[in-house]
Structure 1
Amino acid sequence: MYRSRAVGPNLCYPRAVIPIDLLLDLVRGLTASTPPPRGLPYLGLEHASGTGFHLLDALSARGIFRKYELVLDVGAGLGGRARWLATRFGCEVVGATLTVEEAAGGTQLGRRSGLRAQVRLLPAAPQALPFRAARFTHVWLVESLSRLPDAQAALAEAHRVVRPGGWLAVQDLFRAGRAGADIPGWRFADPEVYVEAIAAAGFVDIQVRDRSAEAAERAPRAIAARELLHARLRSNPRLAALAAERETLGRALAAGGLRVVQLVARRPA
């Protein structure tokens, strides 16, 4: 599956990661009496923006997701989406994380949730993925292109590693109007920019859908858990910036300063 690539995954993507012990301690207390929802053993707290995991149902409607399918999740973070996919559909998922720390932390979370055999995380620069051509049936980029300095290069690599006839699924945050939101480490564009980039990478049958009106998390339990997590992050001076980033994203989405848009496309057979 893998091939040697020279790009160091931690050189261009400095980002803080939720301490795994903190996350595990929080979730352990919140799920002691009531099990977590299926596919979300950590209540979706790995996800930075807080957009609901129900949005992924629409992305997974394209293509087939079964045990023999192999999905690449680019910018996988701590592996929350990968675990959701593996649990919901039984498919195998490889998560390409932007840092070594994310891969290590996400692997620990996967082992504890019993999904180590189905979900593998490894650090990999999106513009130089360490996989052979046409390896995957699906490539997902969920709220990750807006964190990359070269989205076009990442899409070109996605086209290279997905099989002919395979699917690309993108969900991202886009500025609403000229003002948008200014959050360090994020590059909010217009959806039209991504449509052009996806086409330039070689994908066809591009479909675009604005999901902003339904993007917010719906489950009161998950909302309360996120608020508690942010409070714990704020209480630690070393993690205050991470809390501020996540809370700023949430406020921008709630106020309409950011839009949530999904784009799906196919590599020609």
Structure 2
Amino acid sequence: MLRLAWMTDPHLNFLDIDTRKEFCSSINNLKVDALLISGDIGEAVGIESYLRTLMENVEPPVYFVLGNHDYYRGSIADVRSRAARVCAESKRLIWLPQAGLIQITPDACLIGHDGWADGRFGNFLGSKVMLNDYRLIEELKGLTSAERLEKLHYLGDEAAEHFMKLLPRAVQKYKQVIVLTHVPPFREACWHEGEISNDDYLPHFSCKAVGEVLRKAMVGVEAQMLVLCGHSHSPGEARILPNLLVKTGKAVYGNPAVNEIITVPFDLA
């Protein structure tokens, strides 16, 4: 049986270097086979340092996707390039959008993409919410609401296309599929303090494009899918189909913690 530690939104930029290393030691003490991180590792200015801290101090392999905060005070293109460059230094640090489909047991695989809130749930153009994303990420700065929505559609569709390429083979070859993504891919998985986010916040905290691809892939197949995401900092579970379960993880700034130990094979009952 495989044991995977899953955590989301660690925001390592809120910790000094010694506390980051202590956190890594706490991961090692769990004696797991791998660590899964569903985004928001830090911010752009220090992303290489945060990733190297994980690479050099966490003993099991680290599989991760990036989140919106990882691009703060930088650009999407540059952060992705730097993440790929750091991962090239070690086989134990794996950025899932770059790695593709990962077999973790003969019957199970892992796939992932950073994802992005694509503005399609709720009422984006009527929302008064102004995330720091739209002020601190180069590709989203200085846009009108309509231009911003078009860019969010593009980013959400990019993530959806990644899953669209990998899922047919995944559900055909494997009995169980773990999906790692930052942004909740269904309205029902976009939790905030025990409730589903309202139409003002849903556009900024969910990715409809990815959800549609995941749902379509799981209809009429025997495979099971477990989706692990974060972004909203509020925990909850959403049963989308009998064979499709989404877990959204809790997070607290300055206090990163493992959300759950996932065993493989997992039980969706």
Fold match, TM over 0.5?
Answer: no
What band does the TM-score fall into relative to the shorter chain? 0.3 to 0.5
